[in-house]
Amino acid sequence: MREMTIGQFFPGTSFVHRLDPRTKLLIMLAYIVLVFLVKGFVGYGVLAVFLLAACLSAKVKIGYLLKTIKPIIVIVFITFVLNLFFTEGETPWLSLGPVKIYPEGVRFAVMMALRLIFLLMGTSLLTLTTSPMALTDALERLLKPLNKLHFPVHELSMMMTIALRFIPTLMEETDKIMKAQAARGADFDTGNLIDKAKAMLPLLVPLFVSAFRRADDLALAMEARCYHGGDRRTRMKELHYAKIDGIAAALTLLATLGIVAERIFL
């Protein structure tokens, strides 16, 4: 359970780590749009260079970033196969009875698979280099204008922060309770679906009990320290844009121009 690579954060002091989380979030947004804009392999080339540069300057091993694809490899494969068989073109490359493979299909399938891989690697790079707290903080700042529409931005981000904060705690707790029940001979792995669902009870009940207790304790502790909603709260860590944010934005703009040019001229 602790071996999950998606969403894990590696602290560091690299160029990418030091960027303002708002910048990273906005660049991520641009990156996602770009991934969907890309039309051909030139565009992917531009994106690959961009991702590689980000990866190198973040001092994240490329092998590690590639490993983050592992959980979705099956989805990538299915997408690839479906597109391969169901895209129609003019002259088939290969026809085995009713199954025909067109060059357009191959091209499209590769593009779609690449799209997924690029999306995941990009988002992984973001979460690897930005703490969840910084991300929710950035999100709160960026969404602040919505406050005017009475959208509870602060409350939402506080909830996200708390949820993120407790994910590792709950995982640890799950691990511990599973072991404790296994010590009493509980078996979580064998039997049919109904047996397995029943076997979860000794795990879920203690987990919920402790989650509610934790929630209670936390609410009390927050109140004891006079926490009250969003208005006029000051922050311990103010976010400031710096020169490196400008550099990163400029580089992103460059990549965007490249991909837009591809779309228009190629």
The partner in contact with residue 205, picked from ligand ATP, other proteins, none with C-beta cut-offs of 5 to 8 angstroms by kind, is: other proteins
Q: Tell me the C-alpha to C-alpha distance, in Å, between residue 192 and each of 34, 60, 174, 188, 198.
A: 46, 43, 22, 11, 10
Does 206 interact with other proteins (rule: CB under 8 A)?
Answer: yes
Point out the residue whose Cβ comes nearest to ligand ATP.
Answer: 2
Q: How far is it, in rounded angstroms, from Cα 190 to Cα 170?
A: 24
Q: Please pick, from the candidates 94, 209, 260, 261, the single residue that binds other proteins as defined by CB under 8 A.
A: 209
From residue 55, how far is each of 60, 152, 224 by CA, in Å?
6, 35, 43
Nearer to ligand ATP, 175 or 217 (CB): 175
If one asks whether residue 1 binds ligand ATP (CB under 6 A), the answer comes out as no
**Residue pair 105/87 in contact by the 8 Å Cβ criterion:** yes
Nearest distance, CB of residue 128 and other proteins, angstroms: 10
Vertex 248, ends 119 and 25: CA angle to 5°? 45
CB-CB contact of 213 with 173 (8 Å): no
Binder to other proteins among 176, 196, 233, 263 (CB under 8 A)?
Answer: 176
**Cα–Cα distance measured from residue 117 to residue 137, given in angstroms and rounded to the nearest whole number:** 27
The Cβ-side half-sphere exposure at 150, using a 13 Å CA radius, reads: 0
**Whole-number minimum distance, CB 80 to other proteins, in Å?**
29
Minimum separation from the CB atom of position 6 to ligand ATP (A): 18
* Residue 9 interacting with other proteins (CB under 8 A): no
The Cα 67–Cα 15 span in angstroms is 22
# chain residues binding ligand ATP, by CB under 6 A: 2
Minimal distance in Å, beta carbon 131 to ligand ATP? 19
Q: How far is the CB of 1 from ligand ATP (least distance, A)?
A: 9
Residues at the interface with other proteins (CB under 8 A): 2-3, 8, 10, 64, 176-177, 179-187, 201-202, 205-206, 209-210
Contacts with ligand ATP, residue ranges (CB under 6 A): 2, 175
